Amino acid sequence: MSIAHPISSVGELIGEPARTAILIALLGGRDLSAGELARIAGISPQSASAHLSKLVDGALLTARNHGRHRYYGITGPEVAYALEALGSIATLPRPTGAVRSREDLDMYRARSCYDHLAGRVAVELTKALEHSKVIRTSGERDYKLGPKGLVWFADMGIDVDALRRERRMFARRCLDWTERKPHLAGALGAALYSRMLASGWIARRPSTRALRITQRGARELQIRFGFIE
């Protein structure tokens, strides 16, 4: 990797179309095998192996062996934040009235971004948490708890003090690539996403990182924040 400008080496790794497809597929937060990633990227197993080796060497992916297979995953949340931010730059706004596919609509509405919630629902939820004084901005990149934050997250079954002890950012502002506005990430965002899944507010869709807002989730969002999804 270039010592003078390491960002150029990372850009080269991300910029190759097959590697981009691999990285985006892994934003769902689930490790995938080399064969699965080859099919997703539309390349041969041999090409996938070469691309995956470069991504591992570049510290964008990690690899683990399980039986006869090797599984790959994103190194950590910082990689996911960078990919989401790059997506917001690269994705041009669609003209008013443009027709989107059902798959696009699902992804724009709600999806996983590595270990936290992204999409329109995530942005609206984050705005509602700010408005309700549960969280508030802290500098350019972070959030911190607002006056009502400790009680609200405790009511959700989230131990804020335990999250503060984790070796990662507590509450991050992650730029949403479809909405071009921040959503909640970091340890706090990941805990909220896990809780929403466990509580049945959201559910995973098969073979995609798009998420479904359940009837219970829609009801809870309306009761707690006054918005309907």
Asked if pLDDT for residue 2 goes beyond 60, the answer is: no
**What crossing angle do the helices spanning 17-25 and 45-57 adopt, rounded to 10°?**
80
Helices (H), the chain: 6-15, 17-25, 34-41, 45-57, 77-90, 102-109, 120-131, 149-155, 160-164, 186-198, 215-225
Q: In this structure, what token pair is assigned to residue 164?
A: 């503060």
- The tens digit of pLDDT for each residue in 71-85 reads 999 998 888 878 877
Q: Which of 36-50, 94-108, 134-148, 170-184 has the lowest mean pLDDT?
A: 94-108
Task: Judge contact between 91 and 178, C-beta under 8 A.
Answer: yes
Q: Which domains does the chain have, with CATH numbers?
A: 6-75 (1.10.10.10), 100-225 (no CATH)
Q: In this structure, what token pair is assigned to residue 149?
A: 């934050």
- The tens digit of pLDDT for each residue in 120-173 reads 999 999 999 999 999 999 998 999 999 999 999 999 999 999 999 988 899 999
Which pLDDT value is given to residue 173? 93
Q: In this structure, what token pair is assigned to residue 114?
A: 């590595």
C-alpha to C-alpha distance for 3 and 15, rounded to whole angstroms: 19
Q: Which of 33-42, 77-86, 205-214 has the lowest mean pLDDT?
A: 77-86
